[in-house]
Structure 1
Amino acid sequence: MSPEDVGNIRQTLALFAHVFDNKEVAELGLVFTEDAVIELTRGAGRTIEGLVAIGELAVGLGEDAPDHHTLDTHVSVDADGTVRARSRYLAVLPDGSVHNGDYLDVLERTPGGWRIGRRVSVPRYPRSAGNTG
């Protein structure tokens, strides 16, 4: 993996917060593959599949949605060539409190650049019943 690839992956991950939080649904294709999957592990968990559903999630969060920040990204390549990124996130809630955790992403190189094909969001604090470790 070249330094340019790593830089482009980091740009893609940073762009997520801007397009998702601003509900720029038409721009989600700059971040995710068409068939991307997001797995939310907080509480009972939830899986969102595809760009349309991801856009509906963003819009459905309403005006008081969390403000996301992606931090401390580490990019790696598995022996089989799978490209992964592990990032910390901070989400500032409308009341000013902060929620944080890890994004575990699998990335794909597309004709348009690097895109997230799968994202698992693992909360750290505050802990929920489904997140005790």
Structure 2
Amino acid sequence: MKFLHYISVLFFATLVFASCSKDDNEETTPAVANIEITNVEDGQMFTLNEEATIEATLYIPNGEFSNSKLVFKATEGEETIIVDLVGKTPKNAGEKTVYLSATVTPKAPGTYQLHAQFDYSGDEAQSIVISDELNVASGAFLPEE
């Protein structure tokens, strides 16, 4: 009798553990169209006159996208730099995630607000989808001795 009790407790514990465990590597897909810059962090520094590739992931639940851009806006002054985000457009109708990138070369020191955006049309609606804004900077760095 105790044997059956131990087996039922073990089964119940396994069931609870399996239902509570979550795979941290599992990516969830958003329910609405969005875009995210994936390889730049808030506060990141870029080196002057050095090429940098910025990557973004675009998600569309249905509909179509166009005019994907990366926008650098100077925090002081009027300067705004806009660069096209390019990548492979999915050929299959079922593909909803698009990986894009843009290459930039900062020419002037300063701080910028950076975001990615695209035009979205779907569900009989049109809108501009914008990523979270990141604060970045560019400058010259002295070599270490």
Asked whether the two chains share a fold, i.e. TM above 0.5, the reply is: no
**Between Structure 1 and Structure 2, which shows a larger proportion of helix residues?**
1
Q: TM-score, normalised by structure 1?
A: 0.27
